[in-house]
Amino acid sequence: MAKKKWSFALASKISGQLYGNILLRNSDREGYEWCIEQLTTGSLTVRELVKKFCTSEEFREINLMNQTPNEFARIICKRFLGKQEEDQKEIKRLAVMILESDWRTVIHHVIDSDQYKSIYGDDKVPS
């Protein structure tokens, strides 16, 4: 299936959301332009860009450094699975995954999950 090609205006908006919502900062020019290019050419979906942002060292430094596996799992559940109330079973499952594998593997697992896709699909940036 062909990937969606976004208009420049929408790609610009999404690029800003990626930086603001995931990395909690304004975009740098080079990264912003790269995101827009990926979206306008249909090279990557929004979900694939979310995955790239969430497996970056910058994301790790913001969200994983100085956090226990449980705290990191709680952040993931809230931000990427839309869980406002704590789901202790899910937090424990993700925390064990973090301990037993690379944290990036956990991010891929969550963003590729049916639950994530049902909330955000391929076209929305988690808020």
Q: Are residues 65 and 25 in the same domain?
A: no
pTM of the model: 0.92
Structural domain containing residue 34 = 1-54
Q: How many CB atoms are located within 10 Å of the residue 82 CB?
A: 14
Q: Are residues 36 and 76 in the same domain?
A: no
Beta strands in 10-60 (DSSP E): none
Give the largest Cα separation in the chain, rounded: 42
Inside any domain, residue 127: no
pLDDT of residue 108: 96
Q: Are residues 50 and 75 in the same domain?
A: no
**Calpha distance 50→127 (Å, rounded):** 11
Q: Are residues 64 and 100 in the same domain?
A: yes
pLDDT by 10s per residue, the chain, length 127: 678 999 999 999 999 999 999 999 999 999 999 999 999 999 999 999 999 999 999 999 998 899 999 999 999 999 898 876 778 898 999 999 999 998 999 999 999 999 999 999 999 999 8
**Could you tell me if 24 and 101 are in contact, meaning their C-beta atoms sit under 8 angstroms apart?**
no
